[in-house]
Amino acid sequence: MSSFTIALAGNPNAGKTTIFNQLTGARQKVGNWPGVTVEKKEGELSLEGKIFKIVDLPGIYSFSAYSLEEIIARQFILEESPEVIVDVVDASNLERNLYLTVQLMEFGRPLVVALNMIDVAKSRGIYIDVEALSRLLGVPVVPTVGTKGLGIKDLMRVVSEVAQKKRKSQPVHIYYGKELEEALKALSQALEARKILSSYPSRWVALKLLEGDREVWERVQKEPGGGKFLLQVKEIAENLRRFFDEEPEALIVEARYGFISGIIRETVRVSALSRKSFSERLDDLLTHRLLGFPIFIFFMYLLFYLTFKLGAHPVAWLEAALEASEGFLRAKLPPGLLQEILVEGVLGGVGGVLVYLPNILLLFLGISLFEDTGYLARAAFIMDRVMHSLGLHGKSFIPLLMGFGCNVPAIMATRTLENPRERLLTILINPLMSCSARFPVYVLFAGAFFRGHETQVVFGLYALGVVLAALVARILGRILIKEEDTPFVLELPPYRLPTLRSLLFHMWDKTRVYLRKMGGVILVASVLLWAFSAFPRPGGRAPELSESYIGRVGQALEPLLSPLGFDWRMGVALTTGFVAKEVVVSSLGVLYKVGEETTQSLEEALRASGLTPPVALAFMVFVLLYVPCVGTLVAIWRETGSLKYPAINVIYQLILAWCTAFVTYRVAQIIW
């Protein structure tokens, strides 16, 4: 069966991922690009007996190689040579999107343009002559509405025809002017004669060299005869510089925009009716100078309220199922190690985390809704006004918001920040953003000790993380890095009504990571913790918990944690949480229920142990702030290239967690 590789390229917010999801459905896999930790998505599509491997390239604005995403995207096109490149273009922002299209055309590869969000363009009074656009670009152009699945079949049919060479796709060569064209011709011929980077299009390499592309320059330098050839490049570039009194790179950019401007004049008609788009009218309210921040706070509060309100019944059902399972195993299995492992180790540990899956699903659904509607970018814009005065740049808030899901990809997302200071500070404070792994701890203790006020407690914890992140950024910014103020520039995508399919897909994409942890690290940690709590066994009988191996470790930690009101079992749970924060709940499930013959829930076991609301509140604050998990520390190490910064995180977060939890515990004691 024939197989073809299709690369999806496009600007951020052009709907590329939506089209990818429409094409591939559930036939997807997520991994990292070889040698780097930027996420890539691949999927498959069968059509007329042919297999099409769809690769979703990172969203970029150009191929200038200023960011890792740009380098990855162009290297994939150059090295993997996909049969077809599909350029997903936002029809409502055609002029801006066509700059990437022009650069894709310069590769000389078969290209198909997906003119996406054509419905949004029409709603704004923008009408595009698709046939004229296709003729001027020299490539097929297919109108699509990715969110509704419109035009997707036509797009895939055209891609299939181009891949099988049944339809022409010959991108036109942009004319850069007589002098530049002569320079490009001379360099192209020299490249071919010397066989330098012979696997790459020679005209493209010549363009990149005249643009001063550092990566291409270094590649040519390593080629046999490359150094001598680069002297010719410098001479030609200097001649152009003297002739035009301008850098060759600027001349190339001007020519591209001139080409785009001509296409827009020939193909785009804007209605005489001048009216604000729906996005603009909505932004007048949601990003209002005074109302924007209260509205954002309201939406976040509503998210947590619905997470608890709608998740209450499914959580109760799972708790009942877990209790029934424990009772069944105790009744059917004879007393002994097997029963203890399954009941106290597996069900007590993994089950303690599993019962909060409905809350996690609803949280991820809410975050996906913010992302898909375009409100997440507005949140960063709104928060800039509040955070900037505290030293936290608004542009950095996008990776920080991602930290509400998981700190690891959020830290990797800081690669989009050009300013080194902003990037480093964002990495260092990202673990203070409460990730979803901490959420089960909050749900457990808020449900056990603050029944009826869960929303307010959890919302307060998330807000505390944000505020402390801003304050720490201010302090670290003055200690570690010299202050630099840069303007906040962020493109706000248009608002979109997400499809149910898209929301469920994104929710599941986040949830499966959570489930994978339960079947892996949490299960292993729970069984190991049970083993340390069940041994040594003098005389073959289970020891008192305080006399077990884990009990001895916990009692050694107790003097450090007793000022916070924590007992030794809580200290053990915090220690195991270093692996993954979900393990805190599974550890508590093992430690507070080990040896019990009842089927009471973990919440009931915690209340029966004598813990008080002040202790519970201090414990949640400590979990919010103390050391990041192993995965996050590794991500910090990889992204900064130094072990110094993970060490800084461990030290300052432990100090911050202890001090804040101590204050919380003492103040809460006065209130209660």
pLDDT for the residue numbered 497: 75
Query: Which two three-digit tokens encode residue 495?
Result: 């608002």
Say whether 50 sits in a helix, a strand or coil. strand
Q: CB burial class (10 A; 0-12, 13-18, 19+) of residue 103?
A: buried
pLDDT for the residue numbered 141: 96
d(CA 524, CA 308): 29
Domain 178-270 CATH class label = mainly alpha
Q: Strands 84-90 and 3-10, how do they pair?
A: parallel
Contact 589, 576 (CB under 8 A): no
pLDDT for the residue numbered 437: 82
Buried b (16+ CB within 10 A) or exposed e, 126-153: bebebeebbebbebbbbbbbbbeebbbe
Dihedral pair phi/psi, residue 151, rounded to 5°: 80, -5
Bond from prior residue into 536 cis (ω within 30 degrees of 0): yes
d(CA 390, CA 483): 12
Contact 528, 521 (CB under 8 A): no
Dihedral pair phi/psi, residue 544, rounded to 5°: -65, 145
CA 91 remoteness from chain centre: 26
Q: What is the CA radius of gyration of the chain?
A: 29
Say whether 101 sits in a helix, a strand or coil. helix
Contact 351, 528 (CB under 8 A): no
Per-residue pLDDT tens digits for 613-628: 999 999 999 999 998 8
Dihedral pair phi/psi, residue 25, rounded to 5°: 60, -130
Say whether 298 sits in a helix, a strand or coil. helix
Q: How many CA atoms lie within 13 A of 527 on its CB side?
A: 12
DSSP 145: B
DSSP 92: G
d(CA 384, CA 390): 10
pLDDT for the residue numbered 385: 63
DSSP 346: I
d(CA 328, CA 347): 12
pLDDT for the residue numbered 274: 45
Domain residue ranges of the chain, discontinuous segments joined by +: 3-163, 178-270, 292-483+507-671
The DSSP H or E segment spanning 478 is helix 454-479
Contact 112, 169 (CB under 8 A): yes
Q: Locate all alpha helices (DSSP H) within 535-643, ordered by sequence.
A: 549-561, 568-576, 582-591, 602-608, 613-625, 630-640
Tokens 């991500």 identify what position?
635
d(CA 666, CA 670): 7
Strand order in the sheet with 111-116: 28-32, 39-47, 50-56, 3-10, 84-90, 111-116, 141-143
The CATH topology of domain 3-163 is: Rossmann fold (3.40.50)
Residues of the chain with pLDDT under 70: 1, 26-39, 65-67, 272-280, 345, 349, 352, 384-395, 416-419, 480-494, 513-514, 517-519, 521, 538-543, 545-546, 593-599
pTM, entire model:
0.63
Q: Which of 132, 143, 235, 255 is nearest to 183 (CA)?
A: 235
Say whether 57 sits in a helix, a strand or coil. coil
CA distances to 200, 347, 403, 560, 602 from 546, rounded to whole Å, are 68, 21, 37, 17, 19
Query: Which two three-digit tokens encode residue 357?
Result: 């899956």
d(CA 631, CA 520): 14
Beta bridge partners of 5: 53
Q: CB burial class (10 A; 0-12, 13-18, 19+) of residue 273?
A: exposed
Beta bridge partners of 85: 7, 111
Give yes or no on whether 3-163 and 178-270 have one common fold.
no
DSSP string across 228-285: HHHHHHHHHHHHHHHHHTS-HHHHHHHHHHHHHHHHHHHHEEE-S-----HHHHHHHH
Q: CB burial class (10 A; 0-12, 13-18, 19+) of residue 242?
A: exposed
